[in-house]
Structure 1
Amino acid sequence: MPRPRGRIAARAARAAMVILKFAVYLLAACFLVFCALDLLPGNAATQQLGFTGTTEQIQALMHEWGLDLPLIERFASWLTGAASGDLGEVFATGRPVADALIGPLSRTAAMFCLAFLAVAIAGTGLGVLAGLRSGRASDRAVSTGALIVRSMPEFVVALVLVLVFATCLKVLPAVSLAPVGASAFSAPEIFVLPTASIALVGMSSVIRPVRAVVARENAEPYIEAARLAGVPERRVVLRHLLPSCAAPIAQALASVVPYLIGGAVIVECVFNFPGIGTLMVSAVQNREPNVLMACTLVMVSVSLVAYWLADALLKEGENDA
């Protein structure tokens, strides 16, 4: 039997390994994105000066912004600044990247939280319903609907919602434009279709694994014994079945987070939503490495945390089993 001090050392070693893996994956992802941007034709200086800039002007601007340095040196400079909390400046405006990131990040975070809440409530609920009624008409309807949505790309789901709610019913705006001179949060209607688009995709990814685990647990002898003993169905589900399914359901919800983040980038472009996805696309178009790397840092970090949480919940469920 291991001593308490030994258990603490083992936990510390595991935590250190998780942090090390997190740092390595984050560094690799950032470096790949940095290299991919560098491979694109042009740079921030050529985008800023356009066709009117002379070769001398472009070279002078590149030297001022450090774009004439070797790729490794530029990446090391950005990495050093990011590690100290300095994300650099937007080359075109001279504005700190952190300031440029706050607004889009807050809007995307609000949309993401609403979408995740919808996935957690509706996606889990439909998955539980389908699992409890395995093989029945309601199960087939929910599973087929989830499969149809899951097979469609995010932008197709977004276009279908635009066609129905913006073009046909005319109850929601087709483009998520914030009011001039006002915050995007003052017009909550611009959040509805983008949020619904990524929520539907997320729900389709959650319903099937939740349905599978509920159907499997629902067939266990102890559940049947509870029903035969006359325990009310609601009590059987809430007190016996769902607690046994909690870890796999939580793991399914955690694993859908990276898909919601990736879908948000696509959906924001479809609706022209002023979030981090649109900012990321604009950074690529303008060849703004500091902006792109800041967006990448945030999105990859959240995705890695979600993957780690999903993996931890899966291992916890296996240990309980």
Structure 2
Amino acid sequence: MLRWLAVRVGSMLVAMLGVTVAVFALVHLIPGDPIRNSLGTRFNQEIYDRKRAESGLDQPLVEQFVRWLGRAVRGDLGESFRSNRTVTSLVVERLPATLSLAFAALAIALLIAIPVGIISAVRAGSKLDYAATAASQVGVSVPEFWAAIMYILLFALTLSWLPPAGYVSPFESPLEWARHLVLPALTVGLVSGSILTRFVRSAVLEALNQDYVRTAQAKGLSSRQIVTGHVLPNAAIPILTVVGLQLGFMLGGVVVVEVIFAWPGIGRLALTAVEDRDYAVLQGAVLYLAFTFLLVNLLVDVLYAIADPRVRLR
């Protein structure tokens, strides 16, 4: 187990190194001058030259990368050209908003996908199955930005049940935090739930057609015992994979939803960094996304061994 974890962590570090090289190269291909943008109307050639030298942008790209990578290994991701704040502090500041939205949306998705997918598979070919399949198809097809606007029109402007946008810290007011969280979480959760529903249905259907199900039926076990004791544990493996991918996607920040609902998450931070040509912030945000995605994949692999004893970690 420890050897396997060491190998997986090593592969994560190699992948992170590849991401840093790719991100650094792509970021510097973005047209525009971050120092010039940060100065705005206060442009002064002397200040411009000084800031460019301090940031190292006057050095060759290879030297810039080595210098930045050396600081990143020590936990220093640099400073924002726009706000002069450290990138680490900006990412940490946005992290609670991203985490709350991601886990709330995932909870909504699982509450929809697991019961609907299981019932749809157990009653395959019924009207309920067709209705669930059609609903999931609609959920996948509807663009998030359109659904977000419709939710705002219905729940915020027409019914006045929820605020249309914004964010309130849970430490300031838990109730207001929850009220502001509902609409963005619902927007992301319904789309993710529609995707997961289809995978849950397929996984359960495949498990229902296995020989061990027919053996359990021959033993006289009830349908509930077969589904809960045999089908669901074996269907959990492919479901875990998709859940992990969805969680990694959400933790990276859902940019469109965050912009529409003025949600101060990592995705919105990255978008603002692109608009401002803020190299350091964009690199830090993408590194966070890559690390989060790799970490979620590692946790999913560990859960494989817990869910399926046939899996051997070596």
Relative to the length of structure 2, the TM-score reads 0.85
Identity of aligned residues (%): 30
| Counterpart residue identity of residue 192, structure 1 | V
Alignment of 1:60-99 (within 5 A): 60-99=50-89
8 Å CA contact retained: 1:172, 1:189: yes
Residues 64-73 or 271-280, more deviating: 64-73
Tell whether the 8 Å contact from 1:248 to 1:317 is kept in structure 2 after alignment.
no
Q: CA deviation at 1:174?
A: 1.9
Tell whether the 8 Å contact from 1:205 to 1:256 is kept in structure 2 after alignment: no
Letter in 2 for 1:126: V
1:58 maps to 2:48: yes
Q: Residue 72 of structure 1: CA displacement?
A: 2.3
**Is the 8 Å Cα contact of residues 43 and 286 (structure 1) preserved in structure 2?**
no
Comparing 92-101 with 182-191, greater Cα deviation is found at 182-191
The secondary structure found in structure 1 opposite 2:25 is helix
2:265 is equivalent to residue 275 of structure 1: yes
One-letter amino acid of the structure 2 residue matched with residue 49 of structure 1: L
- Alignment RMSD (CA, Å): 3.0
Partner in structure 2 of residue 163 of structure 1: 153
State yes or no: 1:27 paired with 2:17.
yes
Q: Aligned AA for 1:39?
A: L
1:146 aligns with 2:136: yes
Encode CA deviations 1:135-177: one digit per residue, 9 max, x unaligned: 1111111111112221233323322322332233332222224
Task: Measure the CA separation in 1 of the matches of 2:123 and 2:156.
Answer: 35
Query: What is the CA–CA distance in structure 2 between the aligned matches of 1:186 and 1:103, rounded to whole Å?
Result: 19
Cα shift readout 1:239-263 (whole Å, capped 9, x = no counterpart): 2321222222222312322332456
Q: In structure 2, how many angstroms separate the alpha carbons of the residues matched to 1:262 and 1:151?
A: 21
| AA of the residue aligned to 2:127 | A
Q: Is residue 2:198 matched to residue 1:201?
A: no
1:217 deviates by 1.9
Aligned with residue 106 of structure 1, among 81, 96, 109: 96
Instruction: Report 1:228-247 matches (<5 A).
Output: 230-247=220-237
* Corresponding position of 2:243: 253
The whole-number CA distance in structure 2 between the counterparts of 1:308 and 1:96 is 29
Distance, in Å, in 1 between the alignment partners of 2:30 and 2:245 is 32
Paired amino acid for 1:24: V
- Which residue number in structure 1 is paired with residue 126 of structure 2? 136
In 1, the alpha carbon distance for the partners of 2:217 and 2:159 equals 46
Q: TM-score, normalised by structure 1?
A: 0.84
SS in 2 for 1:80: helix
Unaligned runs of 5+ in 1: 1-7
Deviation of the 1:288 alpha carbon: 2.1
Q: Deviations over 1:75-134 (max 9, x none)?
A: 222211111122222233332322222221111111111112222332222211111111
Bigger mean CA offset, 199-208 vs 15-24: 15-24
The one-letter amino acid paired with 1:128 is I
